[in-house]
Structure 1
Amino acid sequence: MHRKCPECGGKILGRSDKKFCSDYCRNAFNNKLNKDSKNLIRNTNNYLRKNYRILERLNPKDKTKTTKSRLISEGFDFQHFTSIYTTKTGTMYYFVYDQGYLPLENEFYALVKRTS
């Protein structure tokens, strides 16, 4: 019995548990499988990545202040974040992974880094 490569249909030679005929076919198959099939997912990940880099660059010492206009000029998008942390007093921190921001008065923002 000959096994066939799920990518190209070619004959598989070698180990009995081998699934693809070549590294090329294995990579091509997995790239198709893992490709972001929806633009929404890809775009959201790009926004999150960009927001994270901006917060990380503006907050090198893990706690600082900045302005809304500075965040906007850097290209920050306030609609994309990964989580919200609400303190006991009701203060809401918005996080992009471990980088967070807290809206303050007069369009200022406190930038923080969550520590484990």
Structure 2
Amino acid sequence: MEERRCLDCGEPLRGRADKKFCDDSCRSSYNNRRNSEDSGYLRKVNSILKRNRKILEALTPEGKTRVKWRTLVTEGFNFEYITDMYETGKGVQYRFCYEYGYMLLEDDEVLLIKRKG
């Protein structure tokens, strides 16, 4: 019969037949490493979304305002990442980053809004 070894450190295991780790430290280390590899993309996307929200929040203190498109770009806003889209009955499209949204206007302007509720 082959000797069972800890999935993290490789030390021989003693005890229950279904035991996978020699202690809690190895279990945590193994799972943290595994989750880190799996969630790298999610962390990147969440970081971009948080930055976008922070920029919109800072530029929309009154709940609604107009800014130039270039202002958002200069602050580091990434237009490729949103959390929601809303289209009105008239076909006007708003893109949201959590509760803050924007609508692209003419003349390189952007209408910024904060969703109520």
- Same topology, TM > 0.5: yes
Q: Offset of 1:40 from its aligned partner?
A: 2.1
Q: Offset of 1:25 from its aligned partner?
A: 7.4
Which protein shows a greater Rg? 2
Aligned to 2:61: 60
CA distance in 2, matches of 1:36, 1:106: 43
Aligned to 1:80: 81
TM-score normalized with structure 2 length? 0.71
CA distance in 2, matches of 1:25, 1:66: 52
Matches within 5 A, 1:81-96: 81-96=82-97
Q: Offset of 1:38 from its aligned partner?
A: 3.9
Paired amino acid for 1:45: N
Deviations 1:36-78 (A, max 9, x none): 6243222111110110000000101111110101000000010
Aligned to 1:99: 100
CA contact (8 A) 1:93 1:100 kept: yes
- Which secondary structure state, in structure 2, belongs to the residue aligned with residue 71 of structure 1? helix
CA contact (8 A) 1:83 1:95 kept: yes
Paired amino acid for 1:50: R
TM-score normalized with structure 1 length? 0.72
Paired amino acid for 1:66: V
Gapped regions of structure 1 (runs ≥ 5): 1-6, 9-21
Please, what is the CA RMSD of the aligned residues?
3.2
Aligned to 1:46: 47
Identity %: 38
- Which secondary structure state, in structure 1, belongs to the residue aligned with residue 66 of structure 2? strand
Aligned to 2:5: none
Q: Offset of 1:31 from its aligned partner?
A: 4.4
Residues 102 and 28 (structure 1 numbering): CA distance in 2 closer, same or farther, change over 3 Å?
A: same
CA contact (8 A) 1:36 1:42 kept: no
User: Which moves more between the two structures, 23-32 or 59-68?
Assistant: 23-32
Question: How many pairs are equivalent?
Answer: 113
